[in-house]
Structure 1
Amino acid sequence: MNRRRSAVTILIVAGALLAPAPASAANTTLTVNAASPFRPVSHVGAGGLYALAENNRPADTMLLPLKLNTLTQPSPRVGQRPNGQPPGGDALLVAPQATRVGAAEYIRMPDIYPNFPYQWVSWNDWLSKVDTQVRDRLAATGTSNIAGWELWNEPDYTWNTSAAGSFNAGWVTTFRRVRALDALTPIVGPSTATYNESWMRSFLTYARDNNALPDIICWHELTAASRIAGDIANYRALESSLGISPRRISINEYATPTEIDQPGPVASYIAKFERGGVNDAERAFWYEYGTVNGLTVNNQPTGSWWLYKWYGDMAGNMVVTTPRAQTGLDGFASHDPTRRIVDVVFGGESATNFVRVTGLSTVGGQVRVTLESTPANGRTSVVSNPTTISNTTATVSNGELTVTVPNMSATSGYHLRIQPTSGVPAYQQRYEAENAAIFRANRFGSSSASAGAYVGQIDNTGDPRTASYVDFVVNVPTARAYTMRIGYANATGATSTHGLAYNGGAWSTVSYPPTGAWGQFGATVSTSVTLRAGYNVIRLAKGSPFFGGGTGYAELDYIELV
């Protein structure tokens, strides 16, 4: 909305490991199965509505650690004055920065109007505005991160039926107008303020019957995280009953005005988006734009920034988390099989609570357990670092460990990391392709791939709307040259090539000699990359702006920096 048990039980207090807690001390338990992956880490909940403003606000240094997935930005020639602020955040003007940090963008078309709720003028006026936006985008040949046209915003609240006619008919008219000029960019909608089955049934039926179904289905979750699982299940059942092939789901506004600055409740939203299999989810805009909706203040982190930083640090696969209920304690977790690290981010409950982690056999018998928290200090307070609650060692018993977290605050966020006591590299060296920012390619599973997945269908037609590439956001300790090893497959029978560029620099070429079969990995090639200390973005591309295009085809498993 545009405004707006065989496990060992460990008690962690002030950095000390105490004796196992008695069962009567338990309040709520979040269960994590580190041996049960269900999707590659792709940071689906790391996005925002009006997250960026022109002139690089916030700074790249604040954005790169978050591994932003998708942003919803206002239209080219934006007229929208959010909360009385001047118009800003034009999707095409912020695209260079979004691209630098690996983020895709949806363009919200009705934000060419200045007011919210939108004030309808006429069909001639609206269609002229649609034409202008699409032509502006087509002229921006150096922009390749536009992932969709959002045709309208909250039609169940903002559509003027008396002046414009029914929304369903208006959707079809607008859909056809966009498609007449741009047949390639996905279309997003209907972007309702809430999920309502009868409203959605009417819309989908009409859109289906008029060949105007959105490529990405969208609605907002702005009232309670407890609704999310039921809404997604209801939509999937409705979609199936109408004979509609599964659509990607975007929740491009989430969390209430009070929750948006509270890491604890936000952890519950992200957990439910991950479990629900959504494609992307964006923090709601309630206050000011250009701060990722309160994650930064004057280019410094707020308490909520740290929760998304922990999310951004996740690698490998998301693993199953099971809360006691749809309200209260909840969280999301990952397992990086290369480094044997398990990360759990959680919150939403007070007092003493437990995190029970199973499936730890591959991590090791002796592990380091780190627990930290970040407060809900608001969107205008800098939080320079999270608070370390404990950093100690523990013994895993029967593949399980239960950590007791006393004195929790329901509004704070918490991060638990379990890793081997030795053998973990000083910095992350392997980056899975399926964890990267992927543009117009797809993730697939393979038992021979590192971490069980890879990226394929990396293609190109020479049009920036079909440019296909993978952006790896990497973090290295020292500015110097690194050897980059690439795991790949190439069953074309001949050498294939990708373009390689990093940090927006010059392009070079990577060559992939032929391998035995698609989806079968083990082959590697190596090249050298000169990186700055800290975060860098490495692009491997079949097609990309300012790059003529690769030859043949190659699938990507991982990159490794040594």
Structure 2
Amino acid sequence: MSVVVAGAAALFVGVAGGPANAANSTLTVNAASPFRPVSHVGAGGLYALAENNQPADAMLLPLKLHTLTQPAPGVGQRPNGQPPGGDSLLVAPQATRVGAAEYIRMPDIYPDFPYRWVSWNDWLAKVDAQVNARLAATATSNITGWELWNEPDWTWNTSAAGSFNAGWVRTFQRVRARDPLTPIVGPSTAVYNESWMRSFLTYARDNNALPDIICWHELEGSARIAGDIANYRALEASLGISPRRISINEYATPTEVDQPGSVASYLAKFERGGVDNAHRAFWYEYGTVNGLTVNNQPTGSWWLYKWYGDMAGNMVVTTPRAQTGLDGFASHDPTRRIVNVVFGGESGTNHVRVTGLSSLGSSVRVLVESTPAAGRFTQVSAPTVISNTTATVTNGELTVTVPNMTATSGYHLVIQPTSGVPSYQQRYEAENGSIFRANRFGSSSASAGGYVGQIDNTGDPRTASYVDFIVTVPTARNYTMRIGYANATGATATHGLAYNGGPWSTVSYPPTAAWGRFGATVSTTVTLRAGHNVIRLAKGSPYFAGGTGYAELDYIELS
């Protein structure tokens, strides 16, 4: 079955720097081929937050932010001539409220960029001060990485400081002497370069100083992302290094970062490439998630990330025609029977072919909307609805044709049954949540096929394990919250429960037959406000004494 979106118009014409791509491309989506849980890996930013709650929580919660890179405690960096701001520890309370983890960028203790090296005594004293400040912040539990340096392939002063590889090891050892627990991130090069990375990894491996999270930047267009990731994985294996999580903690060129169509291609490639997290590059003002908000109102780009934040369930396979042009990413939420596709990067008439739709039934509603590349200073109050129609699914397949696309705009396709869809999301998979120091696993008995396990705690904010669920409800009232879980300890286990920063209560999990085998539930009552809420289930967390035993989390469901 094909659907032609009638009456679609060019929504933003003549944007400078937009790609001039040919029309008549097809993006193929297989809704029946999940490949990873939705975790919003690309919803992050460099210097995304500023002190004094900028942007407001209400602008951040719908985006389901994953990880941010923020400046060092006692920041001296003056980005683009602005005064120092965005101190990682000072913005941590807000980041925590919206479910976001943080990396601390240590060299941002310096005021200038490129950084001006002083001496090793000066640098190591600065490292000590930062680590001591973090250790003193005992109520802060969202710091998940020390980024030891930034873009050493052009900011490291070899003549004054010696080789970067030796400097990395020396800094690594200094941090580890005081903080053996927090992951270390690096080398954070400006571009991916195999020979540079090979030299670094070999030296780090031989000196027991490998980063826990490997990091580089993608600032030269999205076309090379897939190749860079594949090259790194092959290099890692050839050196006998166990697989590292990958962070791309700066992405998109100065022109692209405000173009939803271009950003859609980056996000698609990060999802397909299996990166752990990726952050919008900082080119302009901080405290706006790099152009997603203006005066606490959404820009055109905000809507693309809001569509991303609306995704739940599992990411499903998307196949573009090429590494440039039309591309996108998609999800399928089996509990709501909704398929979301976000795409862009091509002008003219193009197509989205969606297969694997049999579970949605034969009659579906098809919504297509768009958001323009209106720039970082232009408020866009809502997406433009292009078409909202019904269609018939034939042999589990549907093709949606969108004419008059603009390459710099972003587009959103939603396919759902014409009846039987809940009016609001009620089930939230644990593997879709903000997960701190626990891990995602798969199980055929789990809802949507995934769950969270290894939820542990030692009483230290650097090891506290918890899952934050960002939920949205239509009205303020009491809700029954059902929790799917497994507990094979043979005894009752407990977690702490808190929502919206309120007081803690305890949830008890009676024993079940086996780990990774689900079906058991417990229920409790939560009092939620209309709109967005953050619900935390914790083995350990600031202001909570700690849970007992062990439990794995499958989902929460509100009714």
TM-score (norm 2): 0.97
3-state SS of 2:253 partner: coil
SS across alignment from 1:49: coil
User: 2:220 aligns to what?
Assistant: 223
Give SS of 1:35's match: strand
Task: List aligned pairs for 1:343-382, cutoff 5 A.
Answer: 343-382=340-379
Q: In 2, Cα distance between the equivalents of 1:307 and 1:41?
A: 15
* Among candidates 252, 257, 262, match of residue 259 of structure 2: 262
SS at match of 1:362: helix
Letter in 2 for 1:106: Y
- Residue identity matched to 2:218: E
Match of residue 332, structure 2, among 328, 332, 335 = 335
**Which residue is equivalent to 2:414?**
417
Matched with 2:174 is: 177
1:497 matches 2:500 = no
**For 2:312, which of 309, 312, 315 is the aligned residue?**
315
State how 1:185-334 maps to structure 2 within 5 Å.
Answer: 185-334=182-331
Residue 205 of structure 1: SS of its match in structure 2?
helix
The 2-side partners of 1:391 and 1:402 are apart by 15
Offset at residue 26 of structure 1 (A):
7.3
Are 2:6 and 1:13 aligned? yes
Where does residue 522 of structure 2 map in the other structure? Answer: 525
1:22 corresponds to: none
* 1:134–1:181 contact (8 Å) kept in structure 2: yes
Q: Which residue number corresponds to residue 151 of structure 1?
A: 148
For residues 25-77 of structure 1, the C-alpha deviation after alignment (integer angstroms, 9 at most, x for no partner) is 97100000000000000000000000000000000000000000000000000
Q: How does 1:504-523 map to 2 (within 5 A)?
A: 504-523=501-520
C-alpha distance in structure 2 between counterparts of 1:459 and 1:246, whole Å:
22
User: What is the alpha-carbon distance in structure 2 between the residues aligned to residue 491 and residue 31 of structure 1?
Assistant: 42
By how many angstroms is 1:188 displaced?
A: 0.1
The whole-number CA distance in structure 1 between the counterparts of 2:6 and 2:194 is 47
d(CA) in 2 for partners of 1:442, 1:543: 15
Q: How many residues align?
A: 547
Provide structure 2 residue ranges, at least 5 long, that are not aligned to the other structure: 10-21
| Structure 1 residue 363, shift from structure 2 partner | 1.1
Contact 1:15 1:391 in 2 (8 A): no
Gap regions ≥5 residues in structure 1 = 1-7, 17-24
For 1:234 and 1:453, how far apart are their aligned partners in 2? 29
CA distance in 1, matches of 2:281, 2:401: 32
User: Given the alignment, which residue of 37, 41, 45 partners 1:44?
Assistant: 41
User: CA separation in 1, counterparts of 2:23 and 2:110?
Assistant: 53
Secondary structure at the counterpart of residue 359 of structure 2? coil
1:69-119 alpha-carbon deviations (Å, 9 max, x no partner): 000000000000000000000000000000000000000000000000000
- Partner residue, 2:473: 476
Aligned residues of 1:26 and 1:354 also touching (Cα < 8 A)? no
* Residues 499, 536 of structure 2: 8 Å contact kept: yes
Residue 53, structure 1, aligned to residue 23, structure 2: no
Displacement of 1:15 in angstroms is: 8.2
Task: Report the Cα offset of residue 531 of structure 1.
Answer: 0.2
SS in 1 for 2:166: helix
Distance 1:196 1:352 in 2: 37
- Aligned 8 A contact 1:15 1:392 in 2: no
TM-score (norm 1): 0.97
Tell me if structure 2 keeps the 8 A contact 1:439–1:469: yes
1:14 CA drift (Å):
3.3
Which whole-Å deviations, capped at 9, do the CAs of 1:298-336 have from their partners, x for residues lacking one? Answer: 000000000000000000000000000000000000000
Whether the aligned pair in 1 keeps the contact of 2:70 and 2:105 (CA below 8 Å) is yes
- Tell me, yes or no, if the aligned pair for 2:8 and 2:402 is still in contact at 8 Å: no
Q: 1:138 aligns with which of 122, 135, 138?
A: 135
Structure 1 Cα separation of the partners of residues 83 and 449 of structure 2: 47
Displacement of 1:364? 1.1
SS state at 2:360 partner: coil
Distance 2:75 2:360 in 1: 50
The aligned residue for residue 84 of structure 1 is 81
Q: Which residue of 1 aligns with 2:19?
A: none
Contact 2:477 2:528 in 1 (8 A): yes
1:70 paired with 2:67, answer yes
* In 1, Cα distance between equivalents of 2:418 and 2:248: 39
Identity of aligned residues (%): 86
The answer to whether the 8 A contact 2:23-2:348 is kept is: no
CA distance in 2, matches of 1:409, 1:525: 49
